[in-house]
């Protein structure tokens, strides 16, 4: 942008209008941020057909439930009129409530200086947990920041989750070497998160390629790759979608689902400044992939769309890129203050679309929950987090020798010498804190 160009904000929009000292005013780019009114009114687009020509699925937003938990268009051909069994809905709700309790408690700990960082999934629990619920345990996950609940939903112990946040001696995830929220588990096929945006997307494509070489359709394990909306501006996003489209081992599509939680803010950058496209899902068409858009605050809708995408990928179909439209009602992380760059009146309206409240209300209409059940579930989750936290926080720091592990199969002589020198130094200073 030259010195004669300036950016001004048009009334009622956040997209920039570029003007020049000489010449006509340039029109604003079309807003790609979702219309909040559409989510409050809660109509629904058709269920995606998962074929490349279904471009409507890239623009319409599929949903099952209204914000009050009632079903928009019950289908008698589907179980419960929604396509989701009560046991599945209840299982998702339990983990969503657990994640909410955990996030609330960990945010408090960070403010008290007891952990160094935290990134909550508040308001995005449906987009996270429903996506994970659609998978089998043999499937792999390459996560972004807010997918940690998937690992808990798969059975990873809460103790391990909290130990990773402290980076203590019980941190089996990264052995005390990573920031909080960068979980990983080989047992649960959950790849350790990297702080660098979008790197996990090409990695997910590579994992899926290996799966396609080692397993035959129609019963292959599937890889789920996750990003947020900001990562769609990274080069790795485009590289990943290119390879996802052109790599067809045995003439079949990769066993891959690419997933984007569009929470509309990449820290302080709104989604309409990431792209001029009418949706993120429509980017799939440019790479020969299938695009679909779903209400990320509707757990039943996310589950149904994700299950269909996973089934297609498992059988050898074209990989899908799914945009789950949601909203980051809190800060990006504990290093962020969203009140400095966005209208929090909009945030309050999104808070009224709480995915936990919506799913609980639906289960109440089904008779699965009775009055008081949701409150008891929240209390039990908070009690579990507090009790486990009290014990995990007592665990000491990791052994200092872990600094030298897990890089080389055989430790080089120079590194071994440094390790021995450090051991000798610690031995000569018995008062020094182990692991400091």
What are the average pLDDT values for consecutive 10-residue runs of the chain, which has 436 residues?
31 34 38 71 82 85 96 96 98 98 94 92 97 98 96 97 95 89 95 92 98 96 97 97 97 98 93 92 95 97 98 97 95 88 92 97 98 97 97 94 89 94 86 53
pLDDT of residue 24: 39
Where in the sequence of the chain do the CATH 3.40.50.970 domains occur?
A: 36-392
Is beta strand 17-20 parallel, antiparallel or unpaired with respect to 5-8? antiparallel
User: In terms of pTM, does the model score above 0.85?
Assistant: yes
Q: What angle do CA 286, 289, 291 make, to 5 degrees?
A: 90
Please state, as a whole number, how many other Cβ atoms lie within 10 Å of the Cβ of residue 136: 11
* CB 293 within 8 Å of CB 60: yes
Instruction: Give residue 46's pLDDT.
Output: 81
- List helix spans (H) across 28-170: 36-41, 86-111, 125-133, 148-153, 158-166
Residue 252 to residue 259: CA distance in whole angstroms: 20
In CATH, the number for domain 36-392 is 3.40.50.970
């Amino acid at each position: 942008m030259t010195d004669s160009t300036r950016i001004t904000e048009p009334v009622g929009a956040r997209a920039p209008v570029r003007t020049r000292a000489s010449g006509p005013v340039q029109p604003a780019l079309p807003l790609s941020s979702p219309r909040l009114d559409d989510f409050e009114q809660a109509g629904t687009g058709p269920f995606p057909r998962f074929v490349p020509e279904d471009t409507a699925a890239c623009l319409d937003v599929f949903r099952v439930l209204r914000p009050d938990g009632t079903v928009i268009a019950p289908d008698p051909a589907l179980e419960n009129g929604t396509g989701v069994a009560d046991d599945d809905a209840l299982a998702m709700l339990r983990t969503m409530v657990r994640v909410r309790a955990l996030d609330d408690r960990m945010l408090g700990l960070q403010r008290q200086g007891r952990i160094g960082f935290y990134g909550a999934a508040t308001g995005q629990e449906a987009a996270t947990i429903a996506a994970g619920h659609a998978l089998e345990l043999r499937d792999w996950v390459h996560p972004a920041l807010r997918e940690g609940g998937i690992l808990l939903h798969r059975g990873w112990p809460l103790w391990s989750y909290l130990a990773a946040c402290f980076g203590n001696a019980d941190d089996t995830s990264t052995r005390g070497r990573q920031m909080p929220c960068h979980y990983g588990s080989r047992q649960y096929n959950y790849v350790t998160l990297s702080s660098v945006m979008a790197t996990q997307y090409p990695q997910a494509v590579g994992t899926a390629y290996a799966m396609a070489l080692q397993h035959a359709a129609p019963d292959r394990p599937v890889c789920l790759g996750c990003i947020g909306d900001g990562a769609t501006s990274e080069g790795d996003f485009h590289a990943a979608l290119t390879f996802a489209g052109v790599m067809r081992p045995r003439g079949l599509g990769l066993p891959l689902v690419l997933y984007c939680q569009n929470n509309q803010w990449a820290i302080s950058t709104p989604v309409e400044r990431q792209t001029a496209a009418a949706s993120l899902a429509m980017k799939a068409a440019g790479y020969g992939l299938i695009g679909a858009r779903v209400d990320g605050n509707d757990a039943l809708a996310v589950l149904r769309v994700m299950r269909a995408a996973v089934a297609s990928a498992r059988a050898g179909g074209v990989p899908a890129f799914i945009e789950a439209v949601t909203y980051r009602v809190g800060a990006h992380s504990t290093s962020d203050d969203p009140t400095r760059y966005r209208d929090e009146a909009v945030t309050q309206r999104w808070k009224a679309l709480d995915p936990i409240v919506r799913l609980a209300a639906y289960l109440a209409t089904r008779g699965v929950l009775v009055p008081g059940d949701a409150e008891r579930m929240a209390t039990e989750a908070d009690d579990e987090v507090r009790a486990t936290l009290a014990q995990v926080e007592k665990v000491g720091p990791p052994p200092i020798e872990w600094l030298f592990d897990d890089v080389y199969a055989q430790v080089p002589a120079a590194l071994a010498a440094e390790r021995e020198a450090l051991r000798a130094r610690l031995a000569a200073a018995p008062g020094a804190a182990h692991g400091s």
